[in-house]
Amino acid sequence: MHGASDSHPDIHWPSGFSPDHAHSFCQAQVVVHAPPATAFGLLTDVARWPQWAAGVTESRPGALEGTFRVRFHEQAFEVFLGERAEPHRLGWSVVGAGVQVYQAWLLTEVAGGTHVVSENVVRGPAARALDVRSPQWARRLHALWLAQLKRLSESTAG
């Protein structure tokens, strides 16, 4: 089982969505050779996600400010912005397809760029089943997303 000790100490978790409450938890990190604002801008440009975020085939604004809809692996998800402290913190709640997710992003300026930490807490029967069948799925997906974020951030900054 995952626990809060697995999480970066500077991640802010909403009530009920810490690693202690997860059916699946994942953390991935990368150093991006670009300023935090560059990576933050890519993360918040939701309309561009299908171009670089593996599995995302559609993304569009939701009915309310701070919401958007995403199609991920042919499943529809509602996303609600939970935290936005530009250019260092992002967090959103995701609901749909038998899961509830909170994804947190922490971007810290370091020498030569930005240290990016992404953490996911997933709850629900679909998350439980997937974590049992393929415990590495979330790590692989996050690694791919961070590799793409690094590539795009560095090409944008360059």
DSSP state of 32: E
Q: What is the mean pLDDT of each run of 10 residues along the chain (158 residues)?
A: 67 88 86 97 94 93 91 93 96 90 95 94 72 66 89 86
DSSP assignments along 44-63, one per residue: H-GGGHHHHSTTEEEEEE-S
Q: Check: CB of residue 145 under 8 Å from CB of residue 53.
A: yes
| pLDDT score recorded for residue 31 | 97
Residue 26 per-residue DSSP state: E
- pLDDT in the model for residue 117: 95
Whole-number pLDDT of residue 112:
92
CA distance 27 to 113: 20
- With beta carbons less than 8 A apart as the criterion, state whether 111 and 9 touch: no
Write down the pLDDT at residue 139. Answer: 76
| CATH homologous superfamily for the domain 21-43+82-157 | START domain (3.30.530.20)
Q: Model's pTM, two decimal places?
A: 0.88
